[in-house]
Amino acid sequence: MNQGELRFWDRVIVMFTEFFYELRAHGVPVSVNEWYTLLEALEKGLAGSSLTGFYYLCRAVLVKSETYYDKFDRAFASYFDGIETPESLPDKIWKWLDRELPENHRVRFDGTLRQYDIEELKRMLAERLAQQNEEHHGGNRWIGTGGTSPFGHSGYHPGGIRLGGESRNRSAVKVAAERRWADFTDDETLDTRQFQMALRKLRHFTTRFEGPRTELDIDATIEATGRNAGRLKLVWNRPRRNAIKVLLLMDSGGSMLAYSRLCNQLFTAMHRSSHFKDFQVYYFHNCIYDWLYPHPSCLRRDSIKTSDVLSNLDSDYRVILVGDASMAPSELTMPGGIIDWDLHNEEPGIAWLQRVKDRFEYSVWLNPIPASYWRWTEGAYTIKLIREVFPMYELTLNGLEQAIKCLKGRVV
Amino acid sequence: MKNQFSRFRGSNSYIASEELQNSVNVAIALGKPLLIKGEPGTGKTMLAKSIADALGKPLIIWNIKSTTKAQEGLYVYDTVQRLYDSQFGDRDVSDIRQYIKLGKLGEAFVSDEQVVLLIDEIDKADLEFPNDLLWELDQMSFYIPETKETVVAKHRPIVVITSNAEKELPDAFLRRCIFHYIEFPDAERMKEIVEVHFPDLDRKLLEQCLEAFYWIRSLPNLQKKPSTSELLDWLQALVIGGINPRKIGEEIPFLGVLLKKNQDVETLLWNLRNPRGGRKPSFYSR
């Protein structure tokens, strides 16, 4: 390696160190290992032999889930400033490599973000709406969610225009909601693995199942062989299997919309947990009454009688109810209190909840509202009433772990 | 080193996008496992076969099931056989080696030439399964305590791992892989794929079929979208059945080949009767 080459690689390393942090800033979980792999690949000339290959090389080595492809693209575009198609990338990269150290003209997250006045913001918004033709989340320029651009929502620009979404920072000076930005919040990846790992603890091993005896029981074999005067006698056991059956009852009412991502995570994790002996899901609207629904849409035509569900399932099903437990007191305590105007309930919701509680040995309620708010949120009254029936935990990893202990009968 | 790159270019029976070729070659050059994800029917499993064919290497397939243990891929020690032999004295039981049976990963390691190893549907197994293979895939060796032997790969196998994303894979495992997500082919590429399988298909029929196919895939609330393999089966059925291409868009014959769930069939029929916004949207344009 001669002197020139050495400096070349120095520059490459500096460049990629910055790109590495750019990716992480955009929410792509890149690790140092992967970064070394990328350098190794570059040294082997894996990007060099095909110029467009550079982009694909980076992506193949650094990005490990298709859900991060979009974030990666944005980080890439933002770092290589304005380049949108892979075709136009390589020239720019090589030109850039020819320069001395790259100057840094991107806005750092250091509190120096400009304060704009409202007229200026409106004008810039109009300009960017005209220029932008795809979704953006994060980053500091384009309209989208997160990031430090003054436009979009859930971001952190100290003086920006909120476009739809929830107000999280009080500094958004004006709401200019447009429908086309509304659906973007679901671009976040569901990291359901943590939930899944927690759910694994929800098991109770038993060998009392039908099925072939396929596992050699060493101790029993030695014992039996000994009794058999040393002539080999094999003893087989059935493999241990999880006996836990789970019934999940989920609130899909309007107020739950705000927690849909969290609930989705839980649902996905439970659905993928193949270790349950059985897993059943039903949905309800705010509170449980005479009918349950197999789909979150809660359509009347495919409803099922709650009493049928209760009688069809054994009492050893572990029941997990998920809901914000927040509703009008009448919905919980009065006959006819059901929120759907065309339905009528003879018995108050609380009686149905009690029935569920009594039918099954173990049941818990998971509430997506953080526990510290339970006494102060608008649903505080009904939360209190429901907590008298079910042990309630917040829907967090920690809460889920506690709930699982409760379902296993360890803690009440 | 450069000549190591760009070796895989797809094969006669398998169309690989340039992106995919790149990922395969990067994985081969770096000696890292290639993790392939994608919708069912995008040819994840076929890819390994295609790599093996294109590079002229043998293919070893390790099919993962929900009960598969990582250990089984390395070797299995047949205790029971040994116990039996000790009773009847047929063989010399002090030679433990004859009771060690190598698994698929073990086979790939001891092979005299470089092989392509397909670990199919890794997400079917237990959550911890991928973690249990980290060392073996990294070091390309494992130790057999029973015989005090270490099996070291003679030639680093080309490892292709497929996942249907039923479970999320652990980060430590992901960090060691090259990742590629196979996108569902668009109509143009699908045409190429179909032409590989049916070289002399009537153009009109193909276009009508693709239009109907992509329309069905675009329907909301479908539980299981039809995939490439279902399209190919459907085309086969249509050719054998001698269906008039013009009828395809209206009634979708042999529907059962495309949709496997009752509910999906109902959804489709409902949409056929009540086309939203007038005509069916045409996703296939020439």
Quote the pLDDT of residue A12. Answer: 61
Name which residue leads in pLDDT, A103 or A65: A65
Contact B30 A44 (CB under 8 A): yes
* Partner A contacted by B79 (CB < 8 A): yes
Q: Residue B106 pLDDT more than 90? A: yes
A60 to chain B, any CB pair closer than 8 A? The answer is yes
pLDDT score, position A81: 57
B168·A192 Cβ contact <8 A = yes
| Minimum-distance CB partner of B22 among A33, A37, A53 | A53
> Per-residue confidence at B98, pLDDT binned at 50, 70, 90?
confident
pLDDT digits (tens, 9 = 90+) for A381-396: 899 999 999 999 988 8
How far apart are the C-alpha atoms of B262 and B44, rounded to whole Å?
27
Mean pLDDT of A94-100: 44
Is the ipTM above a cut-off of 0.90? Answer: no
User: For residue B30, which residues of chain A lie inside 8 Å, CB to CB?
Assistant: 37, 40-41, 44, 46, 61
What is the predicted pLDDT for the residue at A122? Answer: 55
Tokens for B141, please give them. 């060796």
Long-range pairs for B76-81 at CB < 8 Å and ≥24 separation? B76/B100, B76/B101, B76/B103, B77/B101, B77/B146, B79/A216, B80/A216, B80/A234
Q: Do B87 and A231 touch (CB under 8 A)?
A: yes
* Shortest Cα distance, chain A CAs vs residue B200, angstroms: 34
**Poorest-pLDDT segment among A175-179, B115-119, B151-155, B178-182:** A175-179
pLDDT bin (cut points 50, 70, 90) of residue B86 is confident
Region of A289 on the Ramachandran plot (φ > 0 left; ψ -120 to 50 alpha; else beta) = beta
Q: Given this model, what pLDDT does residue A175 score?
A: 21
Q: Which of residues 153-172 of B touch A (CB under 8 A)?
A: 166-168, 170-171
Å from A113 to nearest chain B CA?
34
C-beta atoms of A197 and B127 within 8 A: yes
Pairwise CB contact (< 8 Å): A64 & B174: yes
Flag if A56 and B19 touch (Cβ within 8 Å). yes
Structural contact between residues A356 and A319, judged by C-beta atoms closer than 8 angstroms: yes
d(CA A316, CA A242) in angstroms, rounded, equals: 13
Whether residue A162 contacts residue A188, with contact meaning beta carbons closer than 8 Å, is answered with: no
Query: Is the pLDDT confidence value at A172 over 80?
Result: no
Highest mean pLDDT of the ranges A55-64, A229-238, B99-108: B99-108
**CB contact, 8 Å: A265 with chain B?**
no
Instruction: Give how far the C-alpha of residue A359 lies from the chain's centroid of Cα atoms, to the nearest Å.
Output: 32
A45 touches chain B (CB under 8 A): yes
Tell me the three state secondary structure of residue A314.
coil
Q: Determine contact, residues B99/B81, Cβ cutoff 8 Å.
A: yes
Q: Which residue of A has its CA nearest to B167?
A: A272
Of A114, A104, A106, A179, residue with least CA distance to A150? A114
Q: Is the model more confident about B166 or about A191? A: B166
Kindly list the distances between the CA atom of residue A104 and the CA atoms of A2, A75, A126, A197, A405, in Å, as whole numbers in the listed order: 28, 15, 27, 42, 52
- What's the rounded Cα separation, in Å, for the pair B142 and B133? 10
Residue B284 has pLDDT above 70, yes or no: no
- Secondary structure element (H or E) that encloses residue B160, with its range: strand B158-163
CA distance B284 to chain A (A): 22
Do A61 and B178 count as a contact with CB atoms less than 8 A apart?
A: yes
In 3-state terms chain A splits into helix, strand, coil percentages (rounded to 5) of 45, 15, 40
Q: Do B18 and A52 touch (CB under 8 A)?
A: yes
Q: Do A46 and B32 touch (CB under 8 A)?
A: no
Check pLDDT > 90 for residue A313: no
A-chain CB neighbours of B5 within 8 Å are: 44-46, 49-50
Which of the four pLDDT bands, split at 50, 70 and 90, describes residue A173?
Answer: very low
Interface mutation target, options B78, B88, B127, chain A, most CBs of A under 10 Å: B127
| Model confidence band, residue A230 (pLDDT cutoffs 50, 70, 90) | confident
A86 touches chain B (CB under 8 A): no
Cβ-contact A365, A287 below 8 angstroms:
no
**Stretch 169-208 of chain A: residues touching chain B, C-beta under 8 Å:** 191-193, 196-197, 200
Could B179 and A40 be called an inter-chain contact, meaning their C-beta atoms sit closer than 8 Å? no
Is the domain B2-181 a CATH 3.40.50.300 member? yes
**Closest partner residue to B167 among A31, A63, A272, by Cβ?**
A272
Tell whether A34 lies on the interface with B, counting CB pairs under 8 A: yes
Distance of alpha carbon A390 from alpha carbon A410, whole angstroms: 15
CB distance from B240 to chain A under 8 Å? Answer: no
Which stretch of A41-50, A92-101, A158-167 has the lowest confidence by average pLDDT? Answer: A158-167
Which of A393, A318, A323, A320 is CA-nearest to residue A360?
A: A318
Kindly give the pairing relationship between strand A236-237 and strand A215-216.
antiparallel
Could you count the other beta carbons within 10 Å of the beta carbon of residue B38?
21
- Check CB contact under 8 Å for A60 and B87: no
- Residue A34 Cα, gap to closest chain B Cα (Å): 6
Q: How far apart are CA A42 and CA B48, in angstroms?
A: 25
Residue the block writes with tokens 């069916």: B280
Q: State how far the Cα of A131 lies from the Cα of A277, in Å rounded to an integer.
A: 54
Q: Are A249 and A283 in contact (CB under 8 A)?
A: yes
B65 vs A141, higher pLDDT: B65
The whole-number average pLDDT for the span A309-323 is: 89
Contact of A245 with A317, CB cutoff 8 Å: yes
Candidate from A127-141, A194-208, A281-295 with smallest mean pLDDT:
A127-141
Q: What is the pLDDT of residues B18-64, one digit of tens each?
A: 788 888 988 999 999 999 988 777 788 889 999 999 899 999 999 99
Residue of A nearest to B5 (CA): A46
**Residue A366, SS3 per DSSP:** strand
Specify whether the backbone of A319 is left (phi greater than 0), alpha (psi in -120 to 50) or beta: beta
Question: Mean pLDDT score of chain B, rounded to an integer?
Answer: 83
Give dist(CA B35, CA B171) in Å, integer: 13
pLDDT tens for each residue of A193-222: 777 777 777 777 666 656 677 788 888 888
A50: Cβ–Cβ under 8 A, 6 or more apart, which residues?
B5, B6, B22
Beta carbons of B2 and A49 less than 8 Å apart: yes
A39 touches chain B (CB under 8 A): no
Span A246-261, pLDDT tens digits = 999 988 877 777 787 7
Joined tokens for residue B210: 């693709």
Contact (CB<8Å) B5/A63: no
**Closest by Cα among B186, B283, B260, B197 to B232:** B197
Convert the pLDDT of each residue in B144-183 to its tens digit: 998 888 999 999 999 999 998 767 788 889 999 999 988 8
Distance set, CA A404 to CA A172, A195, A201, A219 (Å): 40, 11, 7, 33
Q: Tell me which amino acid residue B84 is.
A: Y
Residues in B touching A234 (Cβ below 8 Å): 80, 83
Which residues between 302 and 331 in chain A have a beta carbon less than 8 angstroms from any beta carbon of chain B? Answer: none
φ, ψ of residue A90 in degrees (nearest 5): -55, -50
pTM of full prediction above 0.80: no
